[in-house]
Amino acid sequence: MSQNVLAPASGVAAQAARRRTFAVISHPDAGKSTMTEALALHARVIGKAGAVHGKGDRRGVVSDWMAMEQQRGISVTSAALQFSYRDTVINLLDTPGHADFSEDTYRVLTAVDSAVMLLDAAKGLEPQTLKLFEVCRQRGIPVMTFINKWDRPGHDALALLDEIEQRIGLRPTPLTWPVGIAGQFHGVIDRRTGVFIRMQRSPGGADLAIEEEMGADEAAQRYGADWATATEELELLEMTGADHDQATFLAATSTPVLFGAAVANLGVRQLLDLLVELAPPPSARPTAEGADQPVDAEFSGFVFKVQANMNRAHRDQVAFMRICSGRFERGMVVTHAGTGKPFTTKYAQQIFGQGRDTIDEAYPGDVVGLVNATALGIGDTLYAGAPVRYPALPSFPPEHFAVVRTSDTSAFKRFRRGIEQLDAEGVVQVLRSEQRGDQAPVLAAVGPMQFEVATYRLEAEFGVHAQLDHLPYQVAARTDPAGQEILRGVASVEVMTRVRDDALLAMFPDRWRMRFIAGRTPDLRLDVAP
């Protein structure tokens, strides 16, 4: 359970300056959830770190609260943790790394001010890593890079820096530098102070690492060739000007780099300190109209995630809201920008993985959980005072489609309720097909693992065993009623209605077929659908 981190108000701008809101992102298995837990451990809000791939009596990480995550050792949904460190309030968002859950990750990136990207020392830049770096660059999100798993064999440190610069165009500026090659990790040199910090894993690795500052002469005597190599590499970095520049970091054109091993808690303290010192606090946020909403304006925020059944005892639904401006007070009546209707924030909570505490106030950068807020959907804006609306959240065109059914007629009400919940959360898109009727909705997903999550949650949370029949479509394009009539009866094509917004989606087996039909019917409107 989290601490009460919110101090009495001393001005909204001053409170916003105390916040650091960032996401931990990477390719699958690079160690995101382990890093999330290690950061919480160093902030002393948990006593011992768990392991992502929990086996036997080993505990799962705090952020992986869903049973499916704990069983399989992967993150399939984003999670929020809030805690204090030094005089700073940390809002840390852990994200799923698997490409099938990219949509969830991308939504989280709309709610943060910076990101920590983990690279596996042995694998370097992987496909999902490249995509996430590109998204951060497009959104102007400053990125810190943590080269993880340096306690295991991996690539050369300079080669990894070259790969970052050559493949993604961000200039790497190491803030710490390892002594010892990957797999023979002795500690790091802090490039800003020149101090060598010897690091040793604690017994079992579940506690803080053992750290000791050591002078250059003693380090040279103890580590010999490894120390000599590290100092030569540091001279090379000096010659090439690979020094941290705050302006280019904030402009998302350079990336500070650190080395360590999250599972052994090595280098994690240095990352947390540098996040507090260098990561940007909340600032004025662009609205849908193109203006900037200052942090000290009246209250506003937007919902970037909806999650049900986090607490199995209550089976409630939580809307995760990023506060963008003003002071939030529990119980305040705000306006729903989409409907213009008032919304009461009576049940507001501070989130720490699956745990939560009632919260009375919050400030820009904070993530607040609004419980049983069934009127809220992903992307909704709430505000007090002058109207404001934030831009719509990104979505991906689905590429996988399946009919979902249950053979248990007595469970049909629960089946429909579960499907509606999964649609509201954005776990999958739900489509209505004229050919199949309401009893057999169609699920649309970016990746097939989303189907696994959907059927797992239907059974675990709603007691419904569901079967999937996969459909032979790979492309969905938006069309209109005229297009629906044109396509009616065309072989291997089907038009369905997306439940959440009544959009008409035309399904095609592949892009070639879509282009062929579009070329033969110039009056047909087709837009590849997000």
* Chain mean pLDDT for the chain: 86
Tell me the per-residue pLDDT of 36-55, one tens digit each, with 9 for 90 and over.
888 888 777 765 544 333 33
Rounded alpha-carbon distances, angstroms, from residue 521 to 163, 282, 482, 497: 47, 50, 12, 21
Average pLDDT over residues 368-386: 91
Q: Does residue 102 carry a pLDDT above 80? A: no
Q: Does residue 264 carry a pLDDT above 50? A: yes
> Is residue 95 part of an annotated ligand binding site?
yes
Whole-structure pTM value: 0.80
Average pLDDT over residues 303-331: 83
Residues above pLDDT 90, as percent of the chain: 60
Residue 204 pLDDT level (bands cut at 50, 70, 90): low
Q: Check residue 460 and give its pLDDT.
A: 86
> Is residue 98 part of an annotated ligand binding site?
yes
Average pLDDT over residues 290-319: 83
Tell me the per-residue pLDDT of 390-437, one tens digit each, with 9 for 90 and over.
998 877 788 899 999 998 888 999 999 999 988 888 888 999 998 888
Q: Check residue 46 and give its pLDDT.
A: 61
Residue 108 pLDDT level (bands cut at 50, 70, 90): confident
pLDDT greater at residue 11 or residue 101: 11
Average pLDDT over residues 201-222: 86
Give CA–CA dist 93/324, Å, rounded.
16
> Is residue 97 part of an annotated ligand binding site?
yes
Rounded alpha-carbon distances, angstroms, from residue 152 to 97, 275, 311, 394: 21, 25, 37, 37
Measure the N-to-C terminal CA separation of the chain; round to a whole number of Å. 37
Q: Check residue 128 and give its pLDDT.
A: 73
> Is residue 94 part of an annotated ligand binding site?
yes
Domain 14-278 is found in CATH 3.40.50.300: yes
Q: Encoding tokens for residue 393?
A: 């959240």
Q: Check residue 32 and give its pLDDT.
A: 80
Q: Check residue 98 and give its pLDDT.
A: 45
Tell me the per-residue pLDDT of 216-258, one tens digit each, with 9 for 90 and over.
999 999 999 999 999 999 999 999 999 999 999 999 999 999 9
Tell me the per-residue pLDDT of 145-162, one tens digit each, with 9 for 90 and over.
999 999 999 999 999 999
Q: Does residue 62 carry a pLDDT above 50? A: no
Tell me the per-residue pLDDT of 318-347, one tens digit each, with 9 for 90 and over.
899 999 999 999 999 999 999 999 999 988
Q: Does residue 136 carry a pLDDT above 50? A: yes
Q: Does residue 308 carry a pLDDT above 50? A: yes
Sketch the domain layout of the chain as residue ranges: 14-278, 285-383, 400-528
Cβ count within 10 A of residue 457? 24
Residue 63 pLDDT level (bands cut at 50, 70, 90): very low
Among all chains, which residue has been given the structure tokens 């919480």?
A: 40
Contact predicate 125/167, CB 8 Å: yes
- Find the range with the poorest average confidence among 32-41, 288-297, 473-482: 32-41
Q: Check residue 43 and give its pLDDT.
A: 77
DSSP run (H or E) holding 232: helix 216-239
Give CA–CA dist 30/117, Å, rounded.
9
Average pLDDT over residues 104-126: 90
Q: Return the top range by mean pLDDT from 80-89, 122-131, 377-386.
A: 377-386
Among all chains, which residue has been given the structure tokens 């404001």?
A: 388
Q: Are strands 254-259 and 171-174 parallel, antiparallel or unpaired?
A: parallel
pLDDT greater at residue 491 or residue 94: 491
Q: Does residue 127 carry a pLDDT above 70? A: yes
Give CA–CA dist 28/26, Å, rounded.
6
> Is residue 57 part of an annotated ligand binding site?
no
Cβ count within 10 A of residue 143? 22
Q: Does residue 285 carry a pLDDT above 50? A: yes
Q: Check residue 75 and give its pLDDT.
A: 42
pLDDT greater at residue 92 or residue 453: 92
Q: Does residue 78 carry a pLDDT above 80? A: no
Give CA–CA dist 142/232, Å, rounded.
29
Q: Check residue 148 and give its pLDDT.
A: 97
Domain 400-528: CATH superfamily, name plus number: Peptide chain release factor 3, domain III (3.30.70.3280)
Q: Check residue 83 and give its pLDDT.
A: 87
Q: Check residue 416 and give its pLDDT.
A: 92
CATH code assigned to 285-383: 3.40.50.300
Q: Check residue 235 and give its pLDDT.
A: 96
